[in-house]
Amino acid sequence: MTSGTLRTLLIVAAAAGAVSVAACKGAANTADNSAAAASDANAAMASANSASNDAMAASNAAANASATAPMNATNTP
């Protein structure tokens, strides 16, 4: 795995953790907690979307590099 892939996995895991923590908070004031949970979920979703975009960009870069690489690097034209 590349460092970019590991970074993406960490971001997604952090986002999932944030959603989990937001969902498990005590309910002292339901309206306030719902708003906070929604805010946390939105932030987690934004992080997950960013991580997904980073992963897709990395995948595209790898595919492009693979497509332009010579079939056998030891052969010269």
- pTM summary value: 0.46
As a residue count, the chain comes to 77
Residues 6+ apart with CB under 8 A from 77: none
Give the CA count within 13 Å in the CB-facing half-sphere of 47.
19
Any domain includes 18 = yes
Range with lowest mean pLDDT among 8-12, 49-53, 61-65, 72-76: 72-76
Give me 76's structure tokens. Answer: 């010269």
How many distinct structural domains can be found in the chain? 1
Domain containing 28: what range?
Answer: 3-62
28 belongs to a structural domain: yes
* 19-28 CB contacts, 8 Å cutoff, 24+ apart: 19/44
What digits encode the pLDDT tens for the residues 55-66? 888 888 888 877
Q: For the segment 35-48, what is each residue's pLDDT rounded down to a tens digit?
A: 777 888 888 888 88
CA distance 9 to 33: 28
Residue 17 lies in a domain: yes
